[in-house]
Amino acid sequence: MNSHAQPIGGTILTKPFRALLLIFAVAAGVIAWRFWAGIGPVSGLSDGYPWGIWIAFDVVTGTALACGGYAVALLVYILNRGRYHPLVRPAILTSALGYTIAGLSLAVDVGRPWNFWRVPIFVWQWNFDSALLEVALCIMSYIGVLWIEVSPAVFERLQDTPWAPVRRVASVITRVLDKVLVWIIALGLLLPTMHQSSLGTLMILTGRKLHPLWQTPLLPLLFLISCVVMGYGAVVFESLLSSAAFRRPRETRMLGSLSTTMVVVLFLFLGARLLDLTWRGAWMRIPGSAGYGLLLSVELAMFLAPALMLLSKERRTDPGHLFRAGMLMMLAGALYRFDSVLVAFNPGKGWSYFPTVPEMMITLGLVALEIMAYIVLVKTFPILRGIAPARADAGHS
Partner 1 sequence: MAVDRRSILKALAGSAVAAAATSGRALAAVERKKVPAEAVGLLYDATRCIGCKACVVACREANDLPADPGPFQDRIYQAPIDLNDRTKNIIKLYKDADTVSYMKVQCMHCVDPACASACMLGALSKDKLGIVSWDGSRCVGCRYCQMACPFNIPKFEWRARNPKIVKCELCRHLLAKGGIPACAKACPREAVLFGKRVELLADAKRRIADHPGRYVPKVYGESDAGGTQVLYLSAVPFEKLGLPDLGDAPVPEAARLIQHGVYKGFIAPAALYAILGTVVFRNRRQALAEETPAGDAAGTRESLP
Partner 2 sequence: MGPKHAHLTEAAASGTHGVDRREFVRICTLAAAALGLPASVAQKFVFAASRGLRPSLVWLHFQECTGCTESLLRASHPAISQLILDLVSLDYHETLFAAAGYQAEAALKKAMVDNRGKYICVVEGAIPTKDGGVYCQIAGRPAIDMLRDVAAEAGAIVAIGSCAAWGGIPSADPNPTGATGAPQILTNKTVVSLPGCPPNPYILLGTVLQYLVLGTLPALDDKGRPLFAYGRTIHDVCPRRSHFDAGHFAERFGDEGHRQGYCLYRLGCKGPATHASCATQHFGDIDGAWPIGIGHPCFGCTEQALAFRVPLHQTIEIERPAPPDTYPPIHADHKGISPVATGVAGLAGGALLTAGYMASRKLGRKEDDSAAPGRSDETKED
Using CB under 8 A, list all residues that contact partner 2: 1-3, 44, 46-49, 81-83, 86, 240-241, 243-244, 249-254, 257, 317-321, 323-324, 327, 348-357, 359-360, 364, 387
223 binds partner 1 (CB under 8 A): no
Q: Which of these, 10, 89, 6, lies nearest to 386 by C-alpha position?
A: 6
Q: Which is nearer to partner 2, 237 or 292 (CB)?
A: 237
Q: Which is nearer to partner 2, 148 or 240 (CB)?
A: 240
14 binds, among partner 1, partner 2, none (CB under 5 to 8 A by kind): none
121 binds, among partner 2, partner 1, none (CB under 5 to 8 A by kind): none
Q: Which is nearer to partner 2, 83 or 157 (CB)?
A: 83
244 binds, among partner 2, partner 1, none (CB under 5 to 8 A by kind): partner 2
281 binds partner 1 (CB under 8 A): no
- Inter-residue contact 193 to 223 (CB < 8 Å): no
Distance CA(93)–CA(99), nearest Å, equals 10
- What element of type H or E holds 283? none
207 binds, among partner 2, partner 1, none (CB under 5 to 8 A by kind): partner 1
Q: Which is nearer to partner 2, 3 or 127 (CB)?
A: 3
Q: Which of residues 82-101 bind partner 1 (CB under 8 A)?
A: 82, 85, 88-89, 92
Distance CA(213)–CA(216), nearest Å, equals 8
Distance CA(275)–CA(300), nearest Å, equals 13
Q: Which is nearer to partner 2, 121 or 387 (CB)?
A: 387
Span near partner 1 by CB under 8 A; candidates 21-29, 35-43, 299-307, 368-376: 35-43
133 binds partner 1 (CB under 8 A): yes
Give the CA radius of gyration of the chain.
21
Count other C-beta atoms under 10 Å from residue 283's C-beta: 13
Distance CA(315)–CA(310), nearest Å, equals 6
50 binds partner 1 (CB under 8 A): yes
- Inter-residue contact 196 to 131 (CB < 8 Å): no
Distance CA(278)–CA(59), nearest Å, equals 30
Span near partner 1 by CB under 8 A; candidates 199-207, 225-233, 279-287, 302-310: 199-207
208 binds partner 1 (CB under 8 A): yes
Q: Least Å distance between CB 280 and partner 2?
A: 28
Q: What is the DSSP code string of 212-279?
A: TTT--TTHHHHHHHHHHHHHHHHHHHHHHHHHHHTT----HHHHHHTHHHHHHHHHHHHHHHHHHHHH
